[in-house]
Amino acid sequence: MEYNFLKIERKGAITVMMVSAPKSLNALNSAVLKEMDDFVSHLDESTRVLIVTGDGEKSFVAGADISEMAHLGEQEGFEFGRLGAQVFRKIETLPIPVIAAVNGFALGGGCELAMACDIRIASSNAKFGQPEVGLGIIPGFSGTYRLPKLVGQGYAKEMIYTGKVIRADEALRIGLVNAVYEREELMGKALEMAERMLANAPLAISAAKQSINEGYDLDADAAIALENKLFGKCFTTQDQKDGMAAFLNKQKAVFNGK
């Protein structure tokens, strides 16, 4: 599929997916979401870390495209919301780490896209919010599900009910982002984090992600049982054998994802 709204850059085992619709501050319409869905569904198997960002200096993703939503009826609204939710769920469940490098506005669907990623880092000019109630709607791409998990119900309800937009330093304080950097440092820091991940066993990272994501909604006993199962499965991999042998021999491990 040819992409009109995505720019894809590969840096070895790291892939950068940049949402690129500068005239609308990278707003998400059906066409953008379908391109994103295609890209994620056919992600190159050599990719071990995905970085998601936005084109330009002002915006990560400014939100969903209001010019499209303004004319939707109930069923069309449902289908638009479901499309966005399904795409973001695919991103969330990729078996590799996904880093959101938030370089400006992350409002509405943009905030929801960032929350679907494993880790969020932001530029100092980034702004986050779920301002949908000011348009007569609610967050539609799983924001009411993910935001409370990240920042707690009280703060999530305040953000959603008031539509308040918060700056990067506030997002850091409440745990919505992991770190804040100057704009010109952001992508370098994202790539640096990705490189640190590449130094570790890819199958172990995948298992850790599965354990965290799937265990989060389970009760304690079930979550621990899941971790035990995945922990044991790691011992069937060559990466485990190579990693522990390298440690015992005081060498640097080289992992092949097997």
Beta strands in 20-103, from DSSP E residues, in sequence order: 49-54, 59-61, 98-102
Residue 9 known to be catalytic: no
DSSP class per residue in 141-172: SSHHHHHHHHH-HHHHHHHHHH--EEEHHHHH
Q: Which of 132, 170, 192, 195 is catalytic?
A: 132
Rounded CA gap, 40 and 37, in Å?
5
Residue with tokens 């049982």: 225
Rounded CA gap, 130 and 69, in Å?
16
How would you list the strands of the sheet with 105-107, edge to edge? 59-61, 105-107, 127-129, 165-167
Residue 112 known to be catalytic: yes
Strand 14-19 relative to strand 59-61, pairing: unpaired
Q: Which of 112, 170, 195, 214 is catalytic?
A: 112
Enumerate the active-site residues. 112, 132
